[in-house]
């Protein structure tokens, strides 16, 4: 029954794509008819382009299939989906023109501008259609949830549960944890059903369809044992990676006189990549500061009215190549906040916050002055979050490859932050995400992180 439903949903998606591609083609035709420059020379009725329309729709649908746009992955962000659609539409549009020219030779007189309009309009039209079909997929998954067992109730396990709870459209129903820590019966409101040796039994007992292994520090032998238990019970297995798996794609194999050696790629951004990132930082930070200057003046006034002390809070942080710099924020705590405690991380419901500071920290508005740091070159828009020197000294002793975070400028936001790792969260997991970002940097990834930061600003549970 489930396979039949999935087939029907896929068929609906294909039909929706065909409708939206056809609608975009008609919109392109209509736009070309009313365009003044260049003026249409030989206006034709829409029916004249019927054959071209069929070729266009068929070519794009086949292209979508080759680009695996009909292989649906849970958890894929809308930004990634849009990028995939843009790429497929661009290739499909070129293929469509080539096929039309081959079939019709010179018999079909079609405006070149109409082809360009169709290419451009196809992207938003198909994206809107996919939003509708994605909604249908999400409703079906929510009505028929996949029962999930999380193995490991530590920081990673809790983070996995948080992500599942934040994404009901994924259709996951967590039934509990399997964990070896004695004395605990539940974590974050979810029961611990048994230990890791009982995973096979728990799958049968609770009708589990998918198992997520949240034990990144487990030995290979233990991980293989857990996978074997899941495979015997025919449950899908997903594994949260460890540090080596995170960086494995950036490792090359060399040899030393016949002896194989693994070489980890230098993660530092250099050359045109560094120049492109800096140019983007300069442009965006300058425009943002100009646009937000009235808002920043209002914020400064409210901070002064709320509590005594300076408007800005400057704190030493470690940046690129561990060079210290003064990171700026709007002051959100008492002026003597660390007089009694010394250097500590902020915590949830921190009593040191001011009344207005509680509000601006909740929505990360206290970090707006960091665009000044970006303009000055101390920070980037996107990168690992900078830490204070005292914490850096602690973490470098505890976390493998921690100092490699400093081969890139610190950022206002970052890959770890948009994945829920900010505030009082695991520094080990945060480092993994930071290293992955540095080793997989692209301008598109930066844009994706910035957009997700903006959209998540109003519901980030770790902003305090």
Tally of CB atoms within 10 A around 305: 8
In terms of Cα–Cα distance, which of 44, 31, 26, 25 is closest to 110? 44
Quickly list H helices, 377-463.
Answer: 389-398, 415-418, 427-439, 443-456
Residue range 121-176, pLDDT digits in tens:
999 999 999 999 998 888 888 888 889 999 988 888 888 888 888 888 888 999 99
Token pair in block for residue 99: 């096929």
Q: CA torsion, points 303, 304, 308, 309, in degrees to nearest 10?
A: 80
Would residue 68 be called left, alpha or beta, if left means φ above 0 and alpha means ψ between -120 and 50 degrees?
A: left
Angstrom CA distances, 462 to 346, 361, 418, stand at 11, 10, 10
For 252, residues 6+ apart whose C-beta sits below 8 A from its C-beta are: 262, 263, 265
How would you write the pLDDT of the chain (464 residues) with one tens digit per residue? 566 777 888 899 999 999 999 999 999 999 888 876 666 556 788 888 889 999 999 999 999 999 989 887 777 778 888 889 999 999 999 999 999 888 887 777 778 888 899 999 999 999 999 999 998 888 888 888 889 999 988 888 888 888 888 888 888 999 999 998 888 888 888 999 999 899 999 999 999 999 999 887 788 788 889 999 998 988 889 888 765 555 545 555 555 555 666 555 555 566 788 889 999 999 999 999 999 999 999 999 999 888 888 889 888 999 988 899 999 999 888 776 666 666 666 666 667 788 888 888 888 888 999 999 999 999 999 999 998 888 888 888 888 778 888 888 999 999 988 887 776 677 888 888 888 888 888 888 899 899 888 877 655 555 54
* Peptide bond between residue 38 and the one before it cis (omega within 30 degrees of 0): yes
Burial of 351 (0-12, 13-18, 19+ CB in 10 A): exposed
Report yes or no on whether pTM surpasses 0.75: no
Measured distance CA(88)–CA(284) in Å, rounded: 29
User: What is the distance between the alpha carbons of residues 454 and 426, in angstroms, rounded to a whole number?
Assistant: 23
pLDDT tens, position by position, 191-249? 999 998 999 999 999 999 999 998 877 887 888 899 999 989 888 898 887 655 555 45
**DSSP label at residue 185:** -
Q: Which two tokens stand for residue 53?
A: 């329309």
pLDDT at 246: 52
304 CB-side CA count, 13 A: 8
State the CATH class of domain 146-240.
alpha beta
Asked if 235 contacts 210 with a C-beta cutoff of 8 angstroms, the reply is: yes
Show me where the domains of the chain are located.
Answer: 2-143, 146-240, 271-456
Q: What is the DSSP string of 264-313?
A: EPP----HHHHHHHHHHHHHHHHHHHHHHHHHHHHHHHHHHHHSSS-SEE
What pLDDT is recorded for position 451? Answer: 87
């Amino acid at each position: 029954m489930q396979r039949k439903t999935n087939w029907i949903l896929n068929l609906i998606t294909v039909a929706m794509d065909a409708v939206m591609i056809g609608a975009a083609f008609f919109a392109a035709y209509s736009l070309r008819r009313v365009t003044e420059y260049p003026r249409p020379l030989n206006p034709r009725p829409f029916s004249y382009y019927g054959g071209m329309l069929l070729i266009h729709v068929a070519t794009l649908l086949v292209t979508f299939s080759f680009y695996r746009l009909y292989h649906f992955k849970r958890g894929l962000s809308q930004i990634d989906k849009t990028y995939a659609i843009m790429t497929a539409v661009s290739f499909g549009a070129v293929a469509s023109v080539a096929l039309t020219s081959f079939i019709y030779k010179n018999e079909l007189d079609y405006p070149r501008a109409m082809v360009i309009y169709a290419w451009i309009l196809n992207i938003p039209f198909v994206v809107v259609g996919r939003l509708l079909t994605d909604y249908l997929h999400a409703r079906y998954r929510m009505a028929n949830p996949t029962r999930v067992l999380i193995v490991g109730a530590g920081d990673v396990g809790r983070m996995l549960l948080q992500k599942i709870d934040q994404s009901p459209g994924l259709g996951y129903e967590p039934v509990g944890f399997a964990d070896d820590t004695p004395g605990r019966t539940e974590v974050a409101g979810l029961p611990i059903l048994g230990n890791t040796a009982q995973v096979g039994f728990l799958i049968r007992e609770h009708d589990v369809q998918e198992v997520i292994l949240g034990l990144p520090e487990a030995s290979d032998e233990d991980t293989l044992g857990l996978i074997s238990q899941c495979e015997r019970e025919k449950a899908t297995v997903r594994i949260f990676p460890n540090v080596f798996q995170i960086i494995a794609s950036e490792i090359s194999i060399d040899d030393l006189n016949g002896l194989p050696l693994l070489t980890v790629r230098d993660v530092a951004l250099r050359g045109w990549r560094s120049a492109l990132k800096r140019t983007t930082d300069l442009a965006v930070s300058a425009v943002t500061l100009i646009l937000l200057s009235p808002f920043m003046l209002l914020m400064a006034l409210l901070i002064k009215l709320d509590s005594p002390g300076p408007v800005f809070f400057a704190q030493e942080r470690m940046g690129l190549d561990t060079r210290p710099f003064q990171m700026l924020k709007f002051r959100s705590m008492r002026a003597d906040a660390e007089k009694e405690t010394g250097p500590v991380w902020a915590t949830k419901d921190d009593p040191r916050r001011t009344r207005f500071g509680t509000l601006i920290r909740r929505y990360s508005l206290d970090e707006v002055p960091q665009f000044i740091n970006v303009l000055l070159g101390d920070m980037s828009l996107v990168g690992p979050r900078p830490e204070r020197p005292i914490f850096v000294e602690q973490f470098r002793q505890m976390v493998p490859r921690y100092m490699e975070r400093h081969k890139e400028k610190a950022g206002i936001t970052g890959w770890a932050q948009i994945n829920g790792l900010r505030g009082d969260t695991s520094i080990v997991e945060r480092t993994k995400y930071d290293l992955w970002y540095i080793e997989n940097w692209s301008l598109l990834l930066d844009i994706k992180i910035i957009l997700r930061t903006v959209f998540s600003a109003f519901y980030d549970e770790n902003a305090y």
